[in-house]
Structure 1
Amino acid sequence: MKNNLSSIKKSNLKIIELLSEEEKLTFLVGAGASVDSPSQLPAASEVIKALIKFSCSKSEINKILKIQDLPFEILAGIILESFDDVKFLDFYQESDKPNLEHFVLAEMIKKGAFIITANFDFLLENALLQSDIPKKKIIPVITEKDYERFSDPEKLYRNGKFPVYKIHGSPKNIITGEDTKKSFANTLRLIGVNQTRNNIIQLEPYKAQFLEKTSSERTLIIIGYSGKNDYDLIST
């Protein structure tokens, strides 16, 4: 797969057809999936504007707002360097109401599809819980230790487990209660550092390898993702 979404052909498949498909599917989920009601989290562009107004001096705000295609994660990483705390992203934890997209994705997880999300929210986990999946069977994969332990989604599915791979991290594992802010902050910092160095792959190496492995010889379906953050998309 090329690292530019413009080269990817659009599929004519409908969601209802996917639910009955035997094809091996991998979903890459972005912020757009959490915008619709009742989730109603803001789109990345809205958050970028709010963060710029919150963190920048008044004399620089208009100038920075004019920057084209500024990725949200890059901005968050820059702010993190100044504040050294991810509390400014706590609003992502406020919505606990999954929308239709989350419930469709929950059904796909139950059917063995791989779900990789760039989102920080907990809406996929909540959709699984509200779809009568026992809490002990849901596995958010967030930290490096998680990726080492749960690197084989097919094996997990065969054992009745349902993983949600969070490639940009998350401040908390809402299933186990583990505080994962440190891992979350490290991921945002790394994305920011690699962007300034023009590195092609800007995720941690273990995540980049996982993303490549789980999209190889599978149909990749992208939901709620603009493609501006093409550091998540690697050649395969």
Structure 2
Amino acid sequence: MTSRLLLTLLTLGSAWSLTAAAQRPEKVAAKPEVKESVKKDSPKEPVKETPNPKEQPKAKLIPITPEREAAVMEFVEKNHAELAALLTHLKTSQPKEYERAVRDLFRVTEKLAMVKDREDGQYNLELKAWKAQSRAQLLVARLKMTDPESANTEEMKSQLREILSEQLAARIEVMKLERERTTARLDRLNQDIGKFEQDREKVIDGHVQTLMNQVNANRPKNKPLEKKPAERAPSDKAPADKKPKPTS
């Protein structure tokens, strides 16, 4: 099983790729033997590459900043010191593998941070599962590079089984927490359904009253009508501009 396949099967961590990259010798690719064509004079037609519609654009790589690199190293040193040693080795020997590993581990820290914000109990279990998984990946990488007939193989397989048992136990506890949350949510939904079914008309009347209150609050108020000049009461006093007629 290749390292890429193992990384796909396992959910978190990148210890497998780190160990494989740090311990395997670098291979120099042999140049392919060029065979002379029978027809030397006939020029070769350029091969036209047809675009594959299934190919999707590559996702943008997460930039590695000094802050992110420091956060990854602090996380690994605290939770898997042996993996931290591999990272230090890769940084100088294989920078590209180091950058890929830092990106993978940064995603792990981000996911764990989101879990911690929601619930500390689940975070502790998720972290425990990641530790076991990282140790298992490290051990599998060593088994891959160990002679199957070696006496250490059986001992390493026994250690692997114990580590995977720890990881599975943590996963089971996480699923139990999720089951408890789901059960509580179902209980609340059943209570709401029962309440609405029992007080159906009362609930509808309450909504209608609320909406009518909003309608009445937004309706403009009626202003008092002004009286026309003809409708006004006659004044006892004569207009100021009219003089009284003289008496004879």
TM-score for the superposition, normalised by structure 1: 0.24
Look at both structures and tell me which one has the larger radius of gyration over its CA atoms.
Answer: 2
Higher relative contact order (CA closer than 8 Å, sequence separation 6+): 1
Comparing both structures, which one devotes a greater share of its residues to strand? 1
Q: Quick check: which one's helix share is greater?
A: 2
